Amino acid sequence: MRNVTEDNITDTFLGYFGKDTDPRVREIMDSLARHLHAFARETRLTHDEWRAGLELLRETGRITTPQRDEFVLLSDVLGLSSLVDMIHSPEVGTSSSVLGPFHVSNPPEYPMGADLRGDFGGDIVLVSGRVLDTEGNGIPAATLDIWQTAPNGLYASQDPDQDEFSFHAKFTADNDGSYRFTTVKPVPYTVPTDGPVGKILNATGRHPWRPSHLHYIVEAAGFTPLVTEVFPNDDEYLDQDTVFGVRDDLVMRYESQPAGSFPAEGLELSGKVDGPWEQVDFDIILVRQ
Ligand code: BEZ
Ligand code: FE
């Protein structure tokens, strides 16, 4: 095309593809160009705004390190990570939710019933449940990779005062798929705001808070691995999670339990808890591959 215009540039772009272009690459680039061009036309994007957008991407690259991926965070606060998740979530089984940037590989393996509080102490929550198939049968030897922030709202990798694996643990479920451990009730926390993502949140009058949650990756042979989170039903940010991770079936009630009622066996803290404690049950349904 010699005379490229505002009206024909999109079709011109699509016409430049080579005939051997992989069909999926063609489909994605075709759609990307159509939406990107439509966005510029619709907003009458100015040169200054275009430059500011490019600078934002440059800054995102500059601040990204192996420990901190600002591109993932950008995708999270734009809702793209959650949308991709939802598009590929099976209609049955427990909903998936965002992985986030704070998962660590090879967390320490703990015996069932372990206490994750370490030196932090704090109010005790007993987290228990079963890993089930879609017919309600327990899945033996499912693994559960669990992580959360310390009571100060920081993940171990953000906090030089915590051990590398504090509040990161891996469990293997019992033969009937059941699991249990104790920890502290998770707290709401903010996503990092000292980079370009913080600028976007600020410019659009958005807060950076996530409702409190426990992260899970649940895996078992023959089943699709599940990345998810469980949220307490009394969290003030449930309806405005800045990364759009909340789903109805992931919101659970934390029940207060009276002093003297802590299970006498089966937990690291059995026989050591005199005061009140809380309990949350979260069953996880995996889908066969
Ligand atoms: C998280 O839950 O760990 C998280 C998810 C998305 C962005 C930042 C943090
Ligand atoms: Fe998190």
d(CA 102, CA 215): 10
Q: Does pLDDT of 1 surpass 80?
A: no
Domain membership flag for residue 46? yes
Q: Which pLDDT value is given to residue 89?
A: 87
Place of tokens 């061009």: 37
Query: Domain range spanning residue 19?
Result: 9-74
pLDDT bin (cut points 50, 70, 90) of residue 166 is: very high
CB 45 within 8 A of CB 39: yes
Residue 58 and residue 139 in one domain: no
Q: Does pLDDT of 119 surpass 90?
A: no
Residue 147 and residue 238 in one domain: yes
Ligand 1 atom closest to the CA of 73, numbered from 1: 7
pLDDT bin (cut points 50, 70, 90) of residue 132 is: very high
Residue 171 and residue 278 in one domain: yes
Residue 142 and residue 30 in one domain: no
Mean pLDDT over each residue of the chain, to the nearest integer: 95
Residue 158 and residue 269 in one domain: yes
Nearest to 200 by CA among 102, 76, 22, 47: 76
What pLDDT digit, counting tens, does each position of 16-35 carry?
999 999 999 999 999 999 99
Residue 208 and residue 276 in one domain: yes
pLDDT bin (cut points 50, 70, 90) of residue 90 is: confident
CB 70 within 8 A of CB 197: yes
- In terms of residues, how long is the chain? 289
Task: Say how many CA atoms lie within 13 Å of 100 toward its Cβ.
Answer: 27
Residue 210 and residue 269 in one domain: yes
Nearest to 253 by CA among 127, 132, 138, 130: 127
Ligand 1 atom closest to the CA of 100, numbered from 1: 5
Which of 35, 54, 74 represents a domain boundary (last residue)?
74
Give the residue, by CA position, lying nearest to ligand 1 atom 2: 100
What pLDDT digit, counting tens, does each position of 252-282 carry?
999 999 999 999 999 999 999 999 999 999 9
Q: Which pLDDT value is given to residue 101?
A: 87
What pLDDT digit, counting tens, does each position of 30-67 carry?
999 999 999 999 999 999 999 999 999 999 999 998 87
Which of 19, 50, 74 represents a domain boundary (last residue)?
74
Residue 148 and residue 57 in one domain: no
Q: How many structural domains comprise the chain? A: 2
Helix (H) or strand (E) holding 180: strand 178-183
Over residues 147-172, mean pLDDT: 94
Name the pairing type of β-strands 214-219 and 143-147: antiparallel
Q: Which pLDDT value is given to residue 7?
A: 94
Residue 151 and residue 267 in one domain: yes
* CA–centroid distance, residue 272 to ligand 2 (Å): 29
Pocket of ligand 1 (CB under 6 A): 73, 76, 98, 100-102, 191, 210, 243
Residue 70 and residue 130 in one domain: no
The residue whose CB lies within 8 Å of the most ligand 1 atoms, and thus the one to mutate among 71, 99, 168, is 99
d(CA 212, CA 231): 6
What pLDDT digit, counting tens, does each position of 180-191 carry?
999 999 999 999
